[in-house]
Amino acid sequence: MNIQLTDKREQIFLSTLSLIHHYGFHGTPMSMIAKEAKVAVGSIYHYFPSKEDLIIELYWYCKEKLNSEVFCGITADQAFEERFIMVWKRWIRFYQQHIEIFGFLEQFYGSPFYEEVRSNVICQKAERNKLINFIDEGIREKHLKNLNVRIILSIYLGGAISLFRNSLITKEEIQEEEMNQLVEIIWNGVKL
């Protein structure tokens, strides 16, 4: 893809993230996105046939950014427990550094848009949802209990998201010791 086109798509994504963070899905019309991104409304429709398509593509953009940062440098030769803890802590740190993405994903998962991509999340485990693939690996290799992946994900991500959300509400920084204690509780609950 042409660099200029990539930059324009990226600018549209970043502008959309910022606006949705402030105004929500319904309070962010395409005209506002175009103005924020400094592009013509027609340019947005050139890349995305509709606002729904833009939001769904923005979801995949956010997921890919999250996956690439969280799983960067993590290799299969590291002990599974070490990777389990590292990924969990990186998940929280990613959200701390990308509050707009956190807010977008929170809105997205509670919206009808998610229904359109849910089947893709399951079908595209390795390519688009590294976390599901990682948990599958832990179960297959008998590091984790043989539970439904959804159960383990609920415990794993639920703890991270809840801790992060609480820090936003209380405006208190998450302490390293808090992360260590919570991830240890989670690990002890799901390890084989």
pLDDT digits (tens, 9 = 90+) for 34-64: 999 999 999 999 999 999 999 999 999 999 9
Q: CB-hemisphere CA count at 13 Å for 136?
A: 9
The residue that leads in pLDDT, 93 or 118, is: 93
Nearby residues of 191 by Cβ (< 8 Å), 6 or more positions away:
81, 143, 144, 145
Mean pLDDT of 83-98: 97
- What's the CA gap between 116 and 7, in Å, rounded? 26
Question: Can 1-48 and 51-190 be said to share one CATH topology?
Answer: no
Question: 144 — phi, psi (to 5°)?
Answer: -115, 155
Of the pLDDT bands very low, low, confident and very high (cuts 50, 70, 90), residue 125 is very low
**Average pLDDT over the chain, rounded to whole?**
91
Amino acid at the residue 151? I
pLDDT of residue 1: 43
Query: Which residue, chain included where needed, has tokens 């427990």?
Result: 81
Considering the entire predicted model, what is its pTM? 0.88
User: What value does the mean pLDDT take over residues 175-181?
Assistant: 97
Q: How confident is the model at residue 117 (pLDDT cuts 50, 70, 90)?
A: confident
Domain boundaries along the sequence of the chain: 1-48, 51-190
| 112 confidence band (pLDDT: 50, 70, 90) | confident
pLDDT of residue 2 exceeding 80: no
Topology of the domain covering 1-48: Arc Repressor Mutant, subunit A (1.10.10)
Q: Which CATH superfamily is domain 51-190 in?
A: Tetracycline Repressor, domain 2 (1.10.357.10)
